[in-house]
Amino acid sequence: MSATQLQRGAADGTSLPPLTNGPHRKRLGLVALVATFGGLLFGYDTGVINGALRPMTLDLALTPLTEGIVTSSLLFGAAAGAVGGGRLSDGWGRRKTIILLAVLFFAGTLACVFAPSFEVMVLGRVILGLAVGGASTVVPVFLAELAPYEIRGSLAGRNELMIVIGQLAAFVVNAIIGNVWGEFGGVWRIMLAVAALPAIALFFGMLRMPESPRWLISKGRSQEALEVLKTIRSVERAQAEMADVKHLADEERASKATSWGALKDKWILRIVLVGIGLGVAQQLTGINSIMYYGQSVLVEAGFDSSGALIANVAPGVIAVVGGVIALTLMQRINRRTTLLLGFTLTTACHFLIGIASIVLPVGNAARPFVILFLVVAFVGSMQTFLNIAVWVMLSEIFPLHVRGFAIGLSVFCLWIANALLGLFFPTLVAGVGITGTFFLFGIVGILALIFIYTQVPETRGRTLEALEEDVTTGAIYLVHKKESAGIS
């Protein structure tokens, strides 16, 4: 067997020593737990506005326009944070960047809690957005670079699970505080203040966590990388992975193509466009419109404000259940299959919600409960088959030398799509109602299915190095075409 074949065997994982249990597995789990506090904060800070917005509107005298600005300011900040966080993590390190993000989470929370006016609230939300965007970029990459290829999907997917746990926590906190202390002024400030606790936990936790070994190797710090790998792998496995990653990193340093310059390579450009398409398609399902404006949607469906606040917990619960199921699917079902199934189900839910709002007019006693059921089915489909799969793919499809930049650019576009929906969703519902809004989401879902089927490659069951080799040569698309044509 040639040296090239041996190298490919290592990259595909076929010649790596098997995973073993021991202290290193527990250490890997602890590192993942601490890092995913960034995802928990992501979820809480994006979800808390769902219940805090109505009392905040009264206290700060917000108009429909300024409500949209308060909601979307975090999202536009997240777009900037995604690009900045990705670039910063490439140069400064994944671990240090996450520590900085914890500081931003805490500072943004304080600014929002003590905001005396609309302007200060927007500033605080932008600071939180920078942290959320940075976390959405850096944490998945950090986890993917630490994970063995056999469990990369489930380990990297834990961040998305923590996001929905954070959103559920926000919905529960909102429901409890809103119904128990709702008559007191400034109740929304208490809702926002809860986010300070996980921010503190993330900061102090990450101080004791290691740096990404793949990032260390990319900076020529091979001995440090090996020491880190030995804490989260068996010694034999650490040494085998080290040799493979180092070889690829040496080749990348020789190419000297990073950031925007790397896009001159047609295959790098294509995979970045695939990443952007995945991120935007995920947002155009409208999932975060439900997470931000779920209470308003349920009021539109027929619930009163108090009932909607409680009913809004149901989508949060099903999101967590779906996330748990999704982690098991990551290691059993191909990524493309999962995405195609997910977009099929969510698109069907969109059309059913639109049809239900026509068949069951306002005033019909069944209308709010049927629409709530369909919204829960939509969120469950989204979390089980789409959200975790999209974030895992974004963390693993890009080559090491542009990974932070490429995921940052992809997530920037994701957050811009998210922000535009957050800004205009109330106007859209007011203009065309639930019916027209969800029919539009359904049409976009059909377009997303076509995109996934024709453009997105498969990534499950391979090392990051094997994926990188095929991405940079274009071979990953040839494999996809052969599979689609039924050629072995």
Give the pLDDT means over successive 10-residue stretches in the chain (488 positions).
40 67 91 94 86 86 84 88 89 95 97 95 96 92 88 86 89 84 80 94 96 90 92 90 74 59 86 95 84 67 73 82 89 91 96 90 84 88 91 88 86 88 77 85 96 93 84 79 47
Domain that holds residue 273: 21-209+257-485
Q: How many CB atoms lie within 10 A of CB 186?
A: 12
Q: Do residues 139 and 156 touch, judged by C-beta distance below 8 A?
A: no
Q: What is the CA radius of gyration of the chain?
A: 22
State the pLDDT at residue 115: 95
Q: Which tens digits make up the pLDDT trace of 190-201? A: 999 999 999 999
State the pLDDT at residue 175: 83
Share of the chain above pLDDT 90, in %: 40
* Assigned domain for 232 exists: no
State the pLDDT at residue 251: 59
* Assigned domain for 1 exists: no
Give the helix/strand (H/E) hosting 250.
helix 235-255
State the pLDDT at residue 296: 67
Provide the phi-psi class of 304: left if phi over 0, else alpha when psi is between -120 and 50, else beta.
beta
Number of H helices and E strands in the chain, helices first, is: 25, 0
293 closest CA partner among 425, 169, 408, 409 = 425
Mean pLDDT of the chain: 85
State the pLDDT at residue 488: 40
* Assigned domain for 230 exists: no
* Assigned domain for 355 exists: yes
* Assigned domain for 386 exists: yes
- Residue appearing with tokens 């990534």: 459
State the pLDDT at residue 152: 86
* Assigned domain for 243 exists: no
CATH assignment at residue 132: 1.20.1250.20
Amino acid of residue 73: S
Task: Give the DSSP per-residue string, 100-138.
Answer: HHHHHHHHHHHHHHT--SHHHHHHHHHHHHHHHHHHHHH
93 closest CA partner among 135, 138, 36, 149 = 138
Q: Which tens digits make up the pLDDT trace of 94-108? A: 999 999 999 999 999
* This prediction's pTM: 0.77
* Assigned domain for 425 exists: yes
96 closest CA partner among 144, 134, 147, 148 = 134
**486 exposure class (CB count in 10 Å sphere: 0-12, 13-18, 19+):** exposed
Q: Which tens digits make up the pLDDT trace of 427-485? A: 787 788 778 888 999 999 999 999 999 999 998 888 888 888 888 888 888 755 555 44
* Assigned domain for 244 exists: no
**247-270 burial by CB neighbour count: b if 16+ within 10 A, else e?**
ebbeebeeeebbbeebbebebbeb
Q: Which tens digits make up the pLDDT trace of 287-305? A: 877 766 666 677 776 787 6
| Rounded distance between C-alpha atoms, residue 259 and residue 95, angstroms | 20
What DSSP state is assigned to residue 385? I
Number of domains in the chain: 1
